[in-house]
Amino acid sequence: MLLEKPTPTLRESRAVVLETDRLVLRQPTLADVKAIARVVGDKRVSINLRRVPHPYTADDAISFVTTIAATIDTVFLVERERAVIGLVGVSWENENAPELGYCFGVDHWGKGYATEAARAVIDYAFEEFAIDELLSGARVLNPASRHVLEKCGFQWTGVELHRFLALGSSTPVDRFKLERSVWASIKSWNNSTRR
């Protein structure tokens, strides 16, 4: 049964864990604060994320974990061999236009982890919620992120200007959309399980 939109009650009552061939995706907890701060605190990561400051501290990570626990956002911590390597999730800030976002530690770039984790969360979003599309974006100066979105079936819709806290300014962002019908036609990547 597809749900109309996520609700805090649903999120609190069901801790979802997604597993792919190489990764485990689970909800972040306060025990993960140091690892989150390490990943997001790297300036090469934070300058590509709209809503995070630089420097990004443990206090910022605490605020992040406690805030998402109280929202309807669907955020997963990404682990490989029990080590935190990144985060991926869907923001429901605009419930009619949920948005996929992700970040990975620099040591884990270029290894296919972002694509693998993004696909698991995309599957989860389309399978669990009655949404017609997912949106996403990547800084124009971040071709690797753009490549992840394209490998997941997202189609480019244009360029917008967005403010990035870590930059302290606005910068061009390539915008993308993945429609349910496109996702359904390419879902042969089926490499994740849910428990």
Residue 112 included in any domain: yes
Structure tokens at 94: 């605009």
* pLDDT, one tens digit for every residue, the chain (195 residues): 455 555 443 344 358 999 999 999 999 999 999 999 999 999 999 999 999 999 999 999 999 999 998 888 999 999 999 999 999 999 998 888 899 999 999 999 999 999 999 999 999 999 999 999 999 999 999 999 999 999 999 999 999 999 999 999 999 999 999 999 999 999 866 566 666
- The Cβ of residue 55 has, within 10 Å, a number of other Cβ atoms equal to 13
Among candidates 195, 152, 144, 141, which has minimal Cα distance to 176? 152
Residue with tokens 């991926």: 88
Residue 182 included in any domain: yes
Query: How is residue 13 annotated by DSSP?
Result: H
Residue 1 included in any domain: no
Residue 3 included in any domain: no
**3-state class of 144 per DSSP?**
helix
Containing domain of residue 153, as a range?
8-190
Q: Which residue spans within the chain are E strands per DSSP?
A: 18-19, 24-26, 74-80, 83-91, 99-104, 133-139, 155-164, 169-179, 193-194
Packed helices 143-151 and 113-128: angle between N→C axes, nearest 10 degrees: 50
**Can you give the pLDDT at residue 70?**
85
Residue 2 included in any domain: no
pTM over 0.75: yes
Phi, psi angle pair for 134, to nearest 5°: -120, 145
Domain harbouring 40, CATH code:
3.40.630.30
Residue 195 included in any domain: no
Residue 149 included in any domain: yes
Q: What's the structural domain count of the chain?
A: 1
Residue 153 included in any domain: yes
Residue 137 · residue 160 · CB < 8 Å: yes
How far apart CA 176 and CA 92 sit, in angstroms, is 16
